[in-house]
Amino acid sequence: MLHFLPAPLRGLIGASLLALNTLFWCWPLFTVTLLKICLPFAAAQRMCTWLMNFIHEAWISCNKTWMNLVGKTRWHSDGLQGLDYQHSYLVTSNHQSWVDILVLQYLLNRRIRPLKFFLKQELIWVPVIGLCWWALGFPFMKRYSKAYLAKYPEKKGKDLQTTRRTCAKFRNTSVGIFNFLEGTRFNPAKHAAQQSPFKYLLKPKAGGIAFVLDAMGEQLHSIVNVTIHYPQGNPGFWALLSGEVKDVVVNFKELPIPAAFIGNNYDQDDSYRLAFQQWVNQLWEEKDAELALLHRQYATQQRQH
């Protein structure tokens, strides 16, 4: 509807609507969170959880509205048909841009339960949105370097403990747990520094999803492996706000969770860790080939147009 406006003005409108949407929904969210803390009995907890899911999904729906208002993005998605709102999923994806999270929310909203992302602990201090993430039960993780763990070995395994505590909250409810396997956004400098063996991907970090499977593997219905591709190049967040993202390609592939990966300890079982890393690398080899195909396919279409 606002496509006739210049991009900078659309960007200001998009940023304003994003901020207003967040401020609008944060207050009912904080109110329900306070009720959940003050009313610890089961019936109240279930009602508060339902209300928080409703608020979360309404928040995403309003984001979808302003995204459609400022832009005319063409969405190319495949594989959503088999997903079930009543099931719990572990969702993982390649990480191209800050836009990825809103893309995933746009396509998955109300198809599965709202995604819970793994976040760096420092992000809890982001004004307003950090508290929203905390209220919604997003898992905050404190990462330790190998050098730090060598100096303070007692900190080893803290991430797993945090994951288990977070996942325990979801034991009696359906949930979508999300993790970017690469851990950070792809760019050529990171790709070169890593000497990544993949053309379009950084090296995957298997520990994050291994911890989730260790903590709640029996509860999860399956893994949803997502591949994201932007035919015009990886967009910045301003491009989304100003409606300049022309095409988004997202493929969803539901995978069974190998039985051998349930009930094992990634930190303490060397043979399991090696097998899991090999499995993840195989997934990444297939994803890299899929991205190569998408690059060729959409480059051909653009030349034809």
CATH number for the domain that contains residue 160: 3.40.1130
pLDDT digit string, tens, across residues 142-182? 766 667 667 777 666 666 676 677 777 777 788 999 999 99
Vertex 129: Cα angle to 87 and 183 (nearest 5): 65
Give the structural domain span for 284. 74-304
Tokens of 102: 């809103």
Using 50, 70 and 90 to split pLDDT, how confident is the model at 280? very high
Residue 267 lies in a domain: yes
Residue-wise pLDDT tens digits, 179-205: 999 989 999 999 999 999 999 999 999
Quick check: is 11 in a domain?
no
Secondary structure class of 137 (helix, strand, coil)? coil
Give the range among 31-35, 119-123, 259-263 with minimum mean pLDDT: 119-123
Contact present, 124 and 141 (Cβ < 8 Å)? no
236 part of a folded domain: yes
Q: Is residue 61 part of a domain?
A: no
How far is 105 from 153, CA to CA, in rounded Å? Answer: 38
**64 inside domain:** no
Residue 251 lies in a domain: yes
In the chain, % of residues over pLDDT 70 = 93
What's the structural domain count of the chain? 1
Tokens found for residue 174 = 């359906």
194-245 pLDDT per residue, tens? 999 999 999 999 888 888 888 788 889 999 999 999 999 999 999 999 999 9
Contact 248, 103 (CB under 8 A): yes
Task: Tell whether 168 is covered by a domain.
Answer: yes
Asked whether residue 98 is assigned to any structural domain, the reply reads yes
